Each structure stands twice: as C-alpha cells, then as structure tokens.
Amino acid sequence: MHYVSTRATSASASRNPQEFSNILLAGLAPDGGLYLPAEYPQVSSAELDTWRTLSYADLAFEILRKFATDIPEADLKILVSKTYTPQVYKNARAGDAAADITPLRVLEEADGKTLILQALSNGPTLAFKDMAMQLLGNLFEYTLAKDEAQLNIFGATSGDTGSAAEYAMRGKRGVKVFMLSPHNKMSQFQTAQMFSLQDANIYNIAVEGVFDDCQDMVKAVSNDLAFKARHRIGTVNSINWARVVAQVVYYFRGYLAATSDNSQKVSFTVPSGNFGNICAGHIARMMGLPIDKLVAATNENDVLDEFFRTGVYRVRKSAETYHTSSPSMDISKASNFERFIYDLVGRDAARTHALFTKVETHGGFDLSGAPGSDGDEFKLVRKYGFQSGRSTHQDRLATIRDVEDDYGITIDPHTADGIKVAREHQVAGVPMIVLETALAAKFNEIILDALGMDAVRPAGFENIEALPQKFIVMGADVAAMKSYIAKNTAL
C-alpha cells in the first residue's frame, strides 16, 4: 500500500509514493497536501461476514494490515492487541460491556426508525481521540525502538487532543511531549487530567494567552525547519494519517454490531470539527462498507454544514469563530476536508491544489455550479452519502435534557449536537448510529446548566482536581519556548 499527497502532480515535491511508516511521523506532505492511500483497499461481502465474530482488536488488525503493509503482521498484531483491550477502555457506562471497546446502545426504536449511540469515549481521557491516539503511542514507540530514535512531540491543545496525546505517550521510550495550553482557560477537569501526570517525559506548558497564541507558537517553531530537525520535533495533530485510519475501524465495528447481514445499511451521524472523524467514515464507505448516509453535525461554527447544504466552502476568520458549549468543535476551517475534496473532484491533484490555494488567497471556494463558481462537483456530494445539520447552545441543553429524561443516560454537549442533527435525518429501515465523542464528566459545567446536577464520573476520576499538578507557566514568547525545548531535549 502506497500513499500519495492530495496535491501530488508529476511536478510536485511529493510525487514519490510513500510507505505507511514513512508518513507515520509526518504532518503535511512537502507540497502542502495531505496523504491518502493511492487506492482504497476493498472489502468483499464474504470478508465482511468473516469479521462479524471478531473481537475489536482482531477487527482492527484485519483492517490495519491492509493499510500498514510495511509493518510485519506479527508485530502489528501485538501492537493492536495491546492498544484495544478492556483494561484501556474501562470507562463504559453501567450496563455497557467494556470488552466491546465501542459498545452500542439502542436509544429508541419507533416507526421503523432506530437510534443508536456508539460509545467511543471509554478510554483513559474520556474522549474519542483516545481511539486513535493510543494506537499512535504504541506505533511511535515501536518504530522509534527499531531505529533507536527519539521524537519530541510539540503541540497546542484547547483540551481533548492534549490529554489524549499525553496519556498515549506517557512513559513511552524515545518520546517526549511538550504540550501548550492556554493558562486557566481549560475546564478544571481537563486541566487536572493533563497537569496531574507526573511522568518524566510529559511537559505541560501553560501559556499566558488564548488557544490561538499557543497555536501561533507551535507554528513559529514548526516553521523553523533547522530547529525542528535539530530537536527531532514532530506533531500529532488531526491531519495525521495514522489517526484517521485508526478511526476507520469503529465504523466497521458499529456496522457489524448493528446489522445481521450485509444487505442491510446503516447511517452515521458524527459531531464534527476538523473533519477527521467523519473522514474515516468516508474511507470505510469507499472500502465497501454498506453505509447509507454520513451526516456531519456542527455547532454554531457551521463551515461544514454550509458546504454540505450549498457547495460553498468558506473558512471563518478568528473573529467569526464562536466560543461555544461544544468547544472541541469550535473550528474556523476543517483541516482534513481536503482529503474528501480530492475524492470528490475525481482525485485530480492539480485541481485540489488550485482549490486549496484559493482557500489561502480568497478564503474559500464554490463548487455549487452557479455562474462564476469554481466547479459543479457539489452535485456528486449525495453520491458519497453526505448530509449535514447544525445545532445551537439551546439545542444542546434541550437535547441533553431529553436524552436524560427519555433514556436515563447523560450525554456530553458534543454528542448532543450529534443526536439533535441525527433526529433530523433518520429514515425508516436504516438504523442511525450517533458517535459519542466524549463522556459528560469532561464537560460538567454544561451538564450542570442543562440538568442542575453533576455528571457521574467514572471510577478513579472522583478527586482528580485534588491531585498534585506538574506544569510551568510561560509568556507567549517564542524564543523562551525554544530555549526551554532545547534544554529539555538535550541527550
């Protein structure tokens, strides 16, 4: 299996196809594009049948071996077995089986319509990002050990990504994590999750500023290529291919758990921000999984909903980006969207390059086919199953209350965006699976607003705020940051 850049024309810097291990530690391709498989591996109906009885880990192995063809299968098998075990995904809600890793729960069956919740947030940091990041931690350790190499991960977080990365990399040989977060801006729970880690290879840096200041510092350091190379700095942001492909597995799992034979279809609704999660659903569908609709749910930051309604992709300025009560979906542009557009325009890399250059120069593009637009490929969007919807703060509160009253379970505000939009797209005869992207305990402030009571915390998280914290506070000063990294990465 080879990987190509979405911008790889014969003249471009990334025309050489890459192996999985080569792009594992890479972010963007040298030409600025994103990596995708040269073609999607296909899964036959007969093969899908043989997967119906597999454990999550064995299913993950069957899928990942089609993509990570340069990792010896015996090694890959060990890596996925230690990643997807009930000991890691032990935070299932009462009544769900931790051994399922991503247990399904039918919320409602009426008039031929079935609404299902697939829990993806039972891992160590209570958000779906663990599903991919835990695998990444084990893959990094494995490849670094082979080369006796070191990797220093440098990133910025507003909450979920940073904690998932730190819990995945803590104690891993050859890896250090430097994670910037805005000082005093994360929820108390998120802060405690990250800062209570005492592992020597984890460096929490609270920056006096907002999330954008943190991200600007990461960009400034990343743009200094000499510094990056000298200090072996890498990233684990949402465009990382290994993260996307790890997420493909739970779409297969959800489908197989919700159906009894392959003539049936299901739809998925996905609370979306950077388009990483739902992009994995698109890939599962391209591999032959019988998915009917893929519904992107957004909050007030509705860049994606606007595109899937109109064909116009218009990124937002930071002043136009709202701080909402589903903060992990507060994005101004969707960094994985280029992967889908590449497929939508018939895998035409020159055209993908032109469209995303226009995003840089003009803030977006228009594929609606209207006079003066950039193309008419929007008419193909439904062929790929995509639909969308948005929700507001009031919708979230109302949905959290409804779900609590009707089904007796507490959902987090991002999942509430999903349920609200899913209900607008349900059809009889096709089960609708909503992906649960975080557990409510992580966003207790909103749960208190909606329900007037605290979210239940999984065992072990009861007193997390009282644990000793390890972090340093730093101004938004790039030079100071560089010397801190240099000092702490010296061998």
Ligand X SMILES: *Cc1c(COP(=O)(O)O)cnc(C)c1O
Binding site for ligand X (CB under 6 A): 127, 129, 160, 238, 271-277, 328-329, 414, 437-438
Cβ proximity to ligand X, 324 vs 426, nearer residue: 324
Round the CA-based radius of gyration of the chain to a whole number and report it: 21
The 8-class DSSP code of residue 466 comes to: G
Best CA proximity match to 125, nearest among 92, 163, 93: 163
Strand, helix or coil for residue 401: helix
CB 312 within 8 A of CB 368: yes
Best CA proximity match to 40, nearest among 379, 362, 280: 280
**Residue 421 tokens, joined:** 């939009």
Cβ proximity to ligand X, 138 vs 274, nearer residue: 274
State in angstroms the smallest separation of the CB of 45 from ligand X.
29
Active site residue 129: yes
Cβ proximity to ligand X, 137 vs 162, nearer residue: 162
State in angstroms the smallest separation of the CB of 271 from ligand X.
4
Q: Which residue has the tokens 């995708």?
A: 36
Cβ proximity to ligand X, 201 vs 274, nearer residue: 274
The 8-class DSSP code of residue 430 comes to: B
Give the whole-angstrom CA distance, residue 244 versus residue 268: 16
Cβ proximity to ligand X, 21 vs 392, nearer residue: 392
Longest Cα separation, the chain: 64
State in angstroms the smallest separation of the CB of 437 from ligand X.
3
State in angstroms the smallest separation of the CB of 78 from ligand X.
27
State in angstroms the smallest separation of the CB of 274 from ligand X.
3
Q: What angle do CA 113, 114, 119 make, to 5 degrees?
A: 155
| Catalytic hit among 77, 82, 90, 129 | 129
* Beta bridge partners of residue 10, listed in sequence order: none
**Residue 144 tokens, joined:** 């670094």
What is the dihedral angle through the alpha carbons of 167, 457, 189, 84, rounded to the nearest 10 degrees?
A: 20
CB 1 within 8 A of CB 15: no
Q: What angle do CA 471, 83, 149 make, to 5 degrees?
A: 65
Cβ proximity to ligand X, 130 vs 374, nearer residue: 130
Q: Torsion-angle region of residue 351: left (phi > 0), alpha (psi -120 to 50) or beta?
A: alpha
State in angstroms the smallest separation of the CB of 189 from ligand X.
13
Cβ proximity to ligand X, 144 vs 186, nearer residue: 186
State in angstroms the smallest separation of the CB of 21 from ligand X.
23
Give the whole-angstrom CA distance, residue 253 versus residue 59: 8
Q: Which residues have a catalytic role annotated?
A: 129
